[in-house]
Amino acid sequence: MSILTVKQLTKQFGGLIANNNIDMDVQKGSITAVIGPNGAGKTTLFNMVTGVYQPTSGDILLNGESLVGLKPHQVAQKGISRTFQNIRLFRAMTVLENVMVGMHTHLRSGLFHMILSTPLMRKEEKEAKQEAYRLLQYVGLESLYNEEAKNLPYGAQRKLEIARALATKPKVLLLDEPAAGMNPKETAELTKLIYDMREQLQLTIILIEHDMKLVMEISEHIIVLDHGEKIAEGTPDDIRNNEKVIEAYLGKGATTAS
């Protein structure tokens, strides 16, 4: 069953057409990859789905409900969360706090509760702290909970972004180049994490990736963009042998993939 649908989605910046009539249908619980050469419009697509850019035309449906016109925080509240290509952590805050920020929408206390420190607020805060810690355990960062985010090594920062995104309790998780700059061991850990998240947390996952080995291994469905257009879609096998894709770009990793 389809959870996220993108219909004829177009984004134009002045004379540049970044996304041209993209159609995409994502099944609930699936792992989908969006690939394509640099500048193909992948992140633009993500940005439209998450409300950062408003589409020039077309529609985005989450469980049948249109997301067009919603502000980014509203899209997040609807259940779409993401990580970023260039890591966007809250650098001066601690690791635990970063994850707690993700819980913002699920904490109910208002200004008065906060000032008066009512039992409701204290209970919520306690639960939030513990949940945040559990999320850190989930990604393997629990020992660093008091560390400032900016001091984390690169791989840990990427994991933290994921933990933070999970804190929003999303239905759909968008990962923008999650394996960028990772070594094989870290990539293997990431692969396991993505599978785990899909299985245990009933998430639908969409990722933008350049690491072809990871893409071929993990995705059930692949969509290929080039110069703003969708040029192919299908299973990893379909894509591997697709002439248009090979023409546009298919990195070396494909030949060494399982």
Partner 1 sequence: MKKWLNVLEKNKRLQATVIGMYIATTFISLYLAQKSVVAFLLLLSSLLFLYFTSFSNRVKWVIGILVLSVLLPLAASQGEAYQSYMEVATLVGIYIAMALGLNIVVGLAGLLDLGFVAFFAIGAYTYGIFATAQANNFMPFGHYPLSGESFWIFLIIGCIVAAIFGVLLGIPVLRVKGDYLAIVTLGFGEIIRIIFNNLDKPVNITNGAMGLASVQPPKLFGIEFMYPSQFYYVVLVILLLTIFIVRRLEYSKIGRAWKAVRENEIAAQAMGIPLVRTKLMAFAVGASFSGMMGVVFAAKQTFVDPTSFTLLESITILVMVILGGMGSVPGVILGAALVTILNLQVLTELTNWLNQLSLSGVVHIPDALSPAKMQRFIFGLILIVFALYRPQGLLPAKNPRFDEKELKSGVTNVADGKEGAKGVYFNG
Partner 2 sequence: MIEHVLQTLPQVIIDGLALGAVYAIVALGYTMVYGILELINFAHGEIFMTGAFVGTALLLSFSAFGWLSSMPMLLALLLVLVATSIVTGLLGMGIERIAYRPLRNAPKLITLITAIGISFLLQDFVRFITELKKGNYILTGPSLFTGQVNISASSIWSGFHDASVKSSFFIVLVTAVVMMVTLDFFVNKTKWGMAMRAVAQDRETAALMSVNVNKVIALTFFIGSALGGATGVLFAIQYGTIDPYIGFILGLKAFTAAVLGGIGNIRGAMFGGIVLGLLEMFAAANLPIVSDGILGAEYKDVFAFSILIIVLIFKPEGLFGKVSVEKV
Which among partner 2, partner 1, none contacts residue 115 (Cβ within 5 to 8 A by kind)? partner 1
Judged by CB under 8 A, does residue 192 bind partner 1?
no
| The dihedral sign for the CA sequence 193, 189, 76, 223 | negative
- Which is closer to partner 2, CB of 1 or CB of 16? 16
Instruction: Out of 73, 123, 192, 244, name the contact with partner 1 by CB under 8 A.
Output: 73
- Which is closer to partner 1, CB of 166 or CB of 222? 166
- Which is closer to partner 1, CB of 113 or CB of 227? 113
Min CB(45)–partner 2 separation in Å = 12
Min CB(54)–partner 1 separation in Å = 14
Return the residue matching tokens 């350049």. Answer: 210
Min CB(50)–partner 2 separation in Å = 9
The answer for residues whose C-beta is within 8 angstroms of residue 253's C-beta and 6 or more apart is 211, 212, 213, 214, 215, 216
Which segment (5-13, 114-122, 179-187, 232-240) binds partner 1 by CB under 8 A? 114-122
SS3 125: helix
Instruction: Out of 19, 30, 32, 47, name the contact with partner 2 by CB under 8 A.
Output: 47
Which segment (19-27, 122-130, 177-185, 246-254) binds partner 1 by CB under 8 A? 122-130
SS3 109: coil
Side by side, the strands of the sheet bearing 221-226 are 80-82, 172-176, 204-208, 31-35, 221-226, 229-234
Judged by CB under 8 A, does residue 4 bind partner 1?
no
CB atoms near residue 76 (< 10 Å): 20
Distance between CA atoms of residues 46 and 49, nearest Å: 5
Judged by CB under 8 A, does residue 93 bind partner 2?
no
Return the residue matching tokens 């919520």. Answer: 124
Please give the single-letter amino acid code of residue 30: S
Hey, which residues between 154 and 213 contact partner 2 (CB under 8 A)? none
Judged by CB under 8 A, does residue 90 bind partner 1?
yes
